[in-house]
Amino acid sequence: MPGTLAIRNGYVFDPLNEIDGEIKDIFIKDGKIVEDLTGAGLRDAKIIDAHGKTVMPGGVDSHSHVAGAKVNTGRMMCPEDRYKWVTKKSDLTHSGSGNTVPSVYIQGYDYAKMGYTTVFEAAIPPMEARHTHEEMRSTPILDMGGYLVLGNNWFIMRYLKAGDIEKAAAYVAWMMRTHKAYGIKCVNPAGVENWGWGKNVSSLDEPNIHFGITSREVIHGLAEVNEMLGMPMSLHLHANNLGHPGCWEITRDSLDVARDVKVECNMDVEWQKTKIDPERTQSVYLAHAQFNSFGGTSWMDFASGAKGIVDYVNKSDHVVIDNGAVPFGPATVMTGDGPAIHNLYKLTGNKWSNKDIELECGSGILTFNYLKANPVHSVEWAIGLELLLLVNDPWKTILTTDHPNGGPFTKYPQLITWIMSKKAREATLAECHKWAQDRSSLGGIDREMTLYEIAILTRANPARTVGIAHRKGHLGGGANGDVTIYDFDPTKFDVNDYTKVIRGFQNAAYTIKDGGIVAQNGEIISVPHGRTFFSEAHMDDGIEKEMLKDVKEWFKYYTLGFANYPVPDKYLRNPAPVVVNKPLEAIVGR
Amino acid sequence: MSEVILRPNGSIDIMVEAEVINPDILAGKTTSEIEQLIVWQGAKQLPLSEFFDVEGSAGSTAADTKIIVKGDVPRVKHIGHGMKAGEIVIEGSAGMHVGSEMIGGSILVKGNAGSWAGMEMKGGTLHITGNAGDHVGCAYRGSWRGMNGGKILIDGNARSQLGGGMSGGEIHVGGSVENFAGIRMNNGLIVVKGDAIRGVGAQMSGGLFVVSGKIRQLSPGFEYAGTEKNPKVGETVISGEFMKFAGDYAISKTPKGILYASANE
Ligand SMILES: [Zn+2]
CA B62 / ligand 1 centre spacing (Å): 47
Residue of chain A whose alpha carbon sits nearest to that of B143? A80
pLDDT tens digits along A411-424: 999 999 999 999 99
Using alpha carbons only, give the angle A176, A178, A183 rounded to the nearest 5 degrees.
Answer: 15
How far apart are the two ends of chain B, measured CA to CA in Å? Answer: 47
Residue of chain B whose alpha carbon sits nearest to that of A84? B140
Q: What's the pLDDT at A171?
A: 98
For residues B42 and B75, give the distance between their C-alpha atoms in angstroms, rounded to a whole number. Answer: 12
Rg (CA), chain A: 23
Residue ranges of chain A whose pLDDT lies below 70: 1, 584-590
Amino acid identity at A447: R
For chains A and B, CB pairs below 8 A equal 16
Burial class from Cβ neighbours inside 10 Å (0-12, 13-18, 19+) for residue B175 reads middle
Minimal C-alpha gap between B184 and chain A (Å): 12
Minimal C-alpha gap between A299 and chain B (Å): 20
Task: Find out whether B23 and B86 touch, Cβ atoms under 8 Å.
Answer: yes
The pLDDT mean for chain B works out to: 96
Q: Inform me whether the C-beta atom of residue B45 falls under 8 Å from chain A C-beta atoms.
A: no
Q: What's the pLDDT at B265?
A: 61
- Sequence-distant contacts of A309-316: CB under 8 A, at least 24 apart: A309/A248, A309/A251, A309/A252, A309/A387, A310/A386, A310/A387, A310/A390, A310/A391, A312/A252, A312/A255, A312/A256, A313/A255, A313/A391, A313/A396, A314/A390, A314/A391, A314/A392, A314/A393, A316/A255, A316/A259
Task: Find out whether B187 and B168 touch, Cβ atoms under 8 Å.
Answer: yes
Task: Find out whether B101 and B137 touch, Cβ atoms under 8 Å.
Answer: no
Which of A73, A77, A80, A99 has the most B C-beta neighbours within 10 Å, making it the best mutation to test the interface with B?
A: A80
pLDDT tens digits along A524-580: 999 999 999 999 999 999 999 999 999 999 999 999 999 999 999 999 999 999 999
Q: What's the pLDDT at A1?
A: 66
Query: Which residues have their alpha-adjacent CB atom under 5 A from ion ligand 1?
Result: A 122, 402
Task: Find out whether B207 and B226 touch, Cβ atoms under 8 Å.
Answer: no
Per-residue pLDDT in tens (0 to 9) along chain B, 265 residues: 899 999 999 999 999 999 999 999 999 999 999 999 999 999 899 999 999 999 998 999 999 999 999 999 999 999 999 999 999 999 999 999 999 999 999 999 999 999 999 999 999 999 999 999 999 999 999 999 999 999 999 999 999 999 999 999 999 999 999 999 999 999 999 999 999 999 999 999 999 999 999 999 999 999 999 999 999 887 788 889 999 999 999 988 899 999 999 987 6
Q: Inform me whether the C-beta atom of residue A78 falls under 8 Å from chain B C-beta atoms.
A: yes
Judged by CB atoms closer than 8 Å, whether chains meet at B140 and A351 is answered as: no
CA B91 / ligand 1 centre spacing (Å): 54
Residues of chain B found within 8 Å of residue A86, distances taken between Cβ atoms: none
How far apart are the two ends of chain A, measured CA to CA in Å? Answer: 49
Judged by CB atoms closer than 8 Å, whether chains meet at A79 and B141 is answered as: yes
Residues of chain A found within 8 Å of residue B251, distances taken between Cβ atoms: 349
Q: What's the pLDDT at B123?
A: 98
CA A187 / ligand 1 centre spacing (Å): 9
Task: Find out whether B244 and B260 touch, Cβ atoms under 8 Å.
Answer: yes
Residues of chain A found within 8 Å of residue B140, distances taken between Cβ atoms: 79-80, 83
For residues A143 and A121, give the distance between their C-alpha atoms in angstroms, rounded to a whole number. Answer: 11
Residues of chain B found within 8 Å of residue A79, distances taken between Cβ atoms: 140-143
Phi, psi of B106 (to 5 degrees): -140, 150
Q: Inform me whether the C-beta atom of residue B40 falls under 8 Å from chain A C-beta atoms.
A: no
Residues in CB range of A311: below 8 A, 6 or more apart: none
Q: Inform me whether the C-beta atom of residue A39 falls under 8 Å from chain B C-beta atoms.
A: no
Q: Inform me whether the C-beta atom of residue A77 falls under 8 Å from chain B C-beta atoms.
A: yes
- Residues pairing with B237 in the sheet: B232
Collapsing DSSP to helix, strand or coil, A94 comes out as coil
CA A79 / ligand 1 centre spacing (Å): 22
CB count, 10 Å around CB of A437? 18
Residues of chain B found within 8 Å of residue A345, distances taken between Cβ atoms: none
For residues A348 and A3, give the distance between their C-alpha atoms in angstroms, rounded to a whole number. Answer: 50
For residues A2 and A6, give the distance between their C-alpha atoms in angstroms, rounded to a whole number. Answer: 12
Residues of chain A found within 8 Å of residue B138, distances taken between Cβ atoms: none
Identity of the residue in A83, A349, A351 whose CB atom sits nearest the CB atom of B140: A83
DSSP chain B: -EEEEEEE-S--SS-EE-TT-SHHHHTT--HHHHHT-EEEETTEEEEGGGTEEEEE---SSGGGEEEEE-S-BTTEE-TTTT--SSEEEESS-B-TTTTTT--SSEEEESS-B-TTTTTT--SSEEEESS-B-S-TTPPPTT-----EEEEEEESS-B-SSTTTT-EEEEEEESS---B-TTTT--EEEEEESS-EEE-TTTT--S-EEEESS-EEE--TT-EEEEEEES-EETTEEPPSEEEEEEE-TTT-SS--EEEEEES--
Which of B96, B97, B138, B143 has the most A C-beta neighbours within 10 Å, making it the best mutation to test the interface with A?
A: B143
Residues of chain B found within 8 Å of residue A351, distances taken between Cβ atoms: 142
DSSP A225-281: HHHHHT-SS-EEEE-TTTTSTTTHHHHHHHHHHTTTPPP---B-S-----SS--S--
Task: Find out whether A494 and A294 touch, Cβ atoms under 8 Å.
Answer: no
Q: Could you tell me where the beta strands, DSSP code E, fall in A423-580?
A: 483-486, 510-513, 516-520, 523-524, 532-537, 575-580
Residues B95, B99, B105, B107: is their CA dihedral positive or negative? positive
CB count, 10 Å around CB of A47? 11
DSSP B198-257: E-TTTT--S-EEEESS-EEE--TT-EEEEEEES-EETTEEPPSEEEEEEE-TTT-SS--E
| DSSP conformational letter for A58 | P
Which of B17, B144, B186, B204 has the most A C-beta neighbours within 10 Å, making it the best mutation to test the interface with A?
A: B144
CA A287 / ligand 1 centre spacing (Å): 6
Burial class from Cβ neighbours inside 10 Å (0-12, 13-18, 19+) for residue B70 reads middle
For residues A385 and A102, give the distance between their C-alpha atoms in angstroms, rounded to a whole number. Answer: 25
Q: What's the pLDDT at A584?
A: 62
Collapsing DSSP to helix, strand or coil, A86 comes out as strand
Residues of chain A found within 8 Å of residue B145, distances taken between Cβ atoms: 80
Which of B19, B40, B140 has the most A C-beta neighbours within 10 Å, making it the best mutation to test the interface with A?
A: B140
Q: Which helix (H) or strand (E) holds A147?
A: strand A143-149
Residues in chain A: 590
Judged by CB atoms closer than 8 Å, whether chains meet at B140 and A79 is answered as: yes
Helices A154-161, A215-229: axis angle to 10 degrees equals 90
For residues A440 and A302, give the distance between their C-alpha atoms in angstroms, rounded to a whole number. Answer: 10
pLDDT tens digits along B137-151: 999 999 999 999 999
Tell me the residues of chain A between 339 and 368 that have a Cβ less than 8 Å away from chain B. Answer: 349, 351
Tell me the residues of chain B between 196 and 255 that have a Cβ less than 8 Å away from chain A. Answer: 251
Judged by CB atoms closer than 8 Å, whether chains meet at A77 and B142 is answered as: yes
Collapsing DSSP to helix, strand or coil, A14 comes out as strand
CA A333 / ligand 1 centre spacing (Å): 9
Q: Inform me whether the C-beta atom of residue B140 falls under 8 Å from chain A C-beta atoms.
A: yes
CA A475 / ligand 1 centre spacing (Å): 28
CA A10 / ligand 1 centre spacing (Å): 35
Q: What's the pLDDT at A586?
A: 46
Minimal C-alpha gap between A528 and chain B (Å): 26
Task: Find out whether A95 and A354 touch, Cβ atoms under 8 Å.
Answer: no
Q: What's the pLDDT at A40?
A: 83
Judged by CB atoms closer than 8 Å, whether chains meet at A78 and B142 is answered as: yes
